[in-house]
């Protein structure tokens, strides 16, 4: 399943909706989209991961890089509604306690 990215603004928050698979081949595209989002952000970004079917370590590394870049810009970096498969990867890597995560449902 190909990576799909949709950037928009909701109530003053920059949102990146991610769907499909995030792997070694697609993570560079995600990296660029996250940086573009941070460049436009005032104080908060949400990375909506509800549509992500698969994420490997390169995808996780891209999120960690985004979080570090956000902190350097004093911008809150929030993972919004991670899919079950993404939460599993974050939990196994013990990053679920590092990221700000908003779960739904």
Contact by Cβ (8 Å): 66, 98? no
Predicted TM-score (pTM) of the model is 0.94
Instruction: With H, G, I as helix, E, B as strand and everything else as coil, classify residue 99.
Output: coil
Instruction: Write down all domains in the chain, each with its CATH number in brackets.
Output: 4-102 (3.30.750.24)
Digit-coded pLDDT (tens) for 4-39: 999 999 998 999 999 999 999 999 999 999 999 999
Separation between Cα atoms, residue 13 and residue 51, nearest integer Å: 19
Residue 47: closest CA among 81, 4, 14, 79: 79
What pLDDT does residue 104 have? 81
What pLDDT does residue 105 have? 58
């Amino acid at each position: 399943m190909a990576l799909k990215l949709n950037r928009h603004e909701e109530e003053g928050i920059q949102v990146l909706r991610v769907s499909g698979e995030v792997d070694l081949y697609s993570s560079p595209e995600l990296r660029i989209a996250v940086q573009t989002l941070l460049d436009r952000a005032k104080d908060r970004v949400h990375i909506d991961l509800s549509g992500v079917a698969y994420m490997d370590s390169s995808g996780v590394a891209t999120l960690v890089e985004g979080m570090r870049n956000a902190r350097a810009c004093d911008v809150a970096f929030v993972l919004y509604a991670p899919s079950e498969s993404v939460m599993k990867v974050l939990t196994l890597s013990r990053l679920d306690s590092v990221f700000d995560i908003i779960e739904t449902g």
